[in-house]
Amino acid sequence: MNEISIDLETFSSTNLATSGVYRYTEDPAFQVLLFGFSVDGSEPQVVDLAAGEKIPAEIIIALSDPSVTKWAFNALFERTCLSRHLGIYLSPEGWRCSMVWAATLGLPLSLEGVGAVLGLEKQKLQEGKELIKFFCVPCNPTVANKGRTRNLPCHAPDKWEAFKQYNLRDVEVELAIKQRMAPFPVPEEEWQNYWLDQRINDTGIALDMTLVQAALRCHEQFREHALQRAREITGLDNPNSPIQLLDWMNAHGVTMETMTKEEVGEKAKTTTGEVQEALQLRLELAKSSVKKYEAMKNVAGKDGRARGLIQYYGANRTGRFAGRLIQVQNLPQNHLPDLEEARELVRSENFDALEMLYDSPSDVLKQLIRTAFVPKPGCRFIVADYSAIEARVIAWLAGEIWRQDVFAKNGDIYCASASAMFHVPVVKHGVNGHLRQKGKIAELALGYAGSTGALKSMGALNMGLTEDELPGIVQKWRQASPHIVRFWWDVDRATKQCVITHEPQQVGRVRFAYEKGILFIRLPSGRRLAYVKPRIGVNRFGSDSVTYEGTGEQKKWIRLESFGGKFVENIVQATARDLLVEAMQRLSKKGYQIVMHIHDEVVLEVPDGVSSVEEACSIMAESPAWAGGLVLNADGFECDFYKKD
């Protein structure tokens, strides 16, 4: 036995979508119903565990044997469920995920989606969704079902037989997908990165549930106060209704088309009295500051740790990680100068003091979200992240020497950029310091061929810049960074040439190849980015552009358009991702426990008195062998709860 392909059907009273598989399997009602499998590509079989059948002994032994490869689509689910079912911890080593494999090829992250895109002869059975709803989740008690809250096989034998066929088909589809992807195997080192990711997810991160529960109660109290005050002002039964509030505003001489956050915010600045207060209350009631606290409550396990927050290869265009459940990739920043004091007010449920000391309790709750992540007793967090990683990578890839020199000397890239743009010395809080802001916004917005629109999207107008200034900033930045500009156009030409001729191309450290209907971009690390079914199309400007198939808006499989700057963005962000995973491997081998990572930052749970910020940052800043000449730097700090330093 060399490998097993596995697919499970399970039951739990816990909502899988909102709580995640770890909490899902902790539910006392959790049960594995069907175990579908195939050994070494043989005819799939289904073990009906709900009917009392047993998983063969040799299969159980193989599940714990790292020398036997276990395959599943979203293998985290199967591995975690089987760990609970068997009462043993199944280590990630030896498990491989065909969903991750599909992601490396730019394919969808669903079994149904991959099967459809690949045009498999056997597709996932459509009736499966209804069967899962019938057998895998609780049902509502009715007179017709005699008040039961769960459907068992005996309640619908025909449906149960169809469910077994559905389970069998899923194994067949997984086998077919693997066969179609076989010409493009995932490199072994990428599976090692996947196993590290799985260990990080298995470990999870502790939550301060006292803070979480108090924040939810705080929100409810202040929300009720706000609603009551809004009723008093407006006389409306439901002042949170956009239609009712719009009518009230119009009756008070305030013309508004919608109740969007932006329009309400603008009107609140120009109105006075009760109208202004009503608009401010509307903004307060519309804030979603507690959604992440609710997610934390749903996800926290019996030991108070949140697991499964990170999706490996979740951004399959670059291979970067994606957030799940609590969505740690988009946590609000914190800027409160008295963060710890505000945190203690909420934890102790001193809501009166909170309301007296702060203008917006909802904003306080929002800024405290990060602080709900805490180390276990006897430990503290060391948080370390790369400094200006994308700016460093693009300068290295494009050969922009003056930028690399700035990083080598630990200079301020925003000042250096402004100096190069305006040809004068720029010092932060010093000579020509006012120009630094222009350098900063240019750096943040223009690295991937962005123009005035990118500056606006990055908030240039809110930073005090005028519309008339923007074209000049774009021009000056591009003149100061000619090698980066050339890199955009060289990549643009290389991708087009590769798609047209199917001949390999190279731009500096990056290679382009066309294989079996896929455009591959080989990164300096050796990893490849994939663009499915590329061809030359015409963009909105009437020029040729590369298009390919991928997941677009609303998770639909559509044809997407790209260009040199966008490809460069993918290349740079993917390279930054490769640097991060290699740093995490080094940290892990040094004994550091990684409990979370966000973008280019790692959160380490470190025993008190052990290691230091300097050591962790030093490990992160090491350049891999493939990144010769790339100057890296990492900054960090220690904390007793997670925060933005």
pLDDT of residue 288: 67
**262-275: burial string, b at 16+ Cβ within 10 Å, e else:** eebeebbeebeeeb
The stretches of 87-208 forming alpha helices (DSSP H) are 98-104, 111-118, 128-135, 157-181, 188-203
Provide the edge-to-edge strand list for the sheet that holds 3-11.
45-48, 31-39, 3-11, 69-72, 95-97
Distances (CA, A) of 109 to 278, 307, 318: 44, 20, 14
Quote the tokens at residue 290: 């507690």
pLDDT tens-digit readout, 441-475: 898 899 999 999 999 988 888 877 888 989 999 99
Task: Report the candidate in 110, 129, 99, 137 with the shortest Cα–Cα distance to residue 16.
Answer: 137
Strands (E), 539-600: 544-551, 557-562, 593-598
Q: 């030991």: which residue's tokens?
A: 303
Cα 76 to Cα 22: distance, rounded to the nearest angstrom: 10
Cα 252 to Cα 394: distance, rounded to the nearest angstrom: 54
Residues forming beta bridges with residue 381, ordered by sequence position: 605, 639
Q: What does R_g of the chain's alpha carbons equal in angstroms?
A: 27
Q: Within 13 A of 207's CA, how many CA atoms are on the CB side?
A: 28
Distances (CA, A) of 641 to 69, 334, 368, 386, 637: 39, 12, 10, 20, 11
Question: Are 172 and 122 in contact, with CB atoms under 8 Å apart?
Answer: yes
Phi, psi of 574 (to 5 degrees): -65, -40
With 0-12 / 13-18 / 19 or more C-beta atoms within 10 angstroms meaning exposed / middle / buried, residue 283 is: middle
Which DSSP symbol is given to 372?
G
Which residue type, as a one-letter code, is found at position 537? G
Question: Are 447 and 391 in contact, with CB atoms under 8 Å apart?
Answer: yes
Which residue type, as a one-letter code, is found at position 560? L
3-class secondary structure for 198-265? HHHHHHCEEECHHHHHHHHHHHHHHHHHHHHHHHHHHCCCCCCCHHHHHHHHHHCCCCCCCCCHHHHH
Cα 168 to Cα 236: distance, rounded to the nearest angstrom: 57
Residues forming beta bridges with residue 557, ordered by sequence position: 551
Chunked mean pLDDT (size 10), the chain, 645 residues: 96 97 98 98 97 96 95 98 97 96 94 89 81 95 91 96 96 95 96 98 98 95 88 87 87 84 86 88 79 96 97 93 94 93 96 90 93 98 96 96 94 92 91 88 91 89 85 93 97 97 98 97 98 92 91 87 96 98 98 96 97 96 95 96 92
Task: Report the candidate in 312, 371, 373, 297 with the shortest Cα–Cα distance to residue 340.
Answer: 371
Which DSSP symbol is given to 537?
E
Phi, psi of 552 (to 5 degrees): -110, -150
Query: CA 577, 477, 522: angle at the middle one, nearest 5?
Result: 30
pLDDT tens-digit readout, 356-368: 999 888 899 999 9
Cα 153 to Cα 470: distance, rounded to the nearest angstrom: 66
pLDDT of residue 369: 97
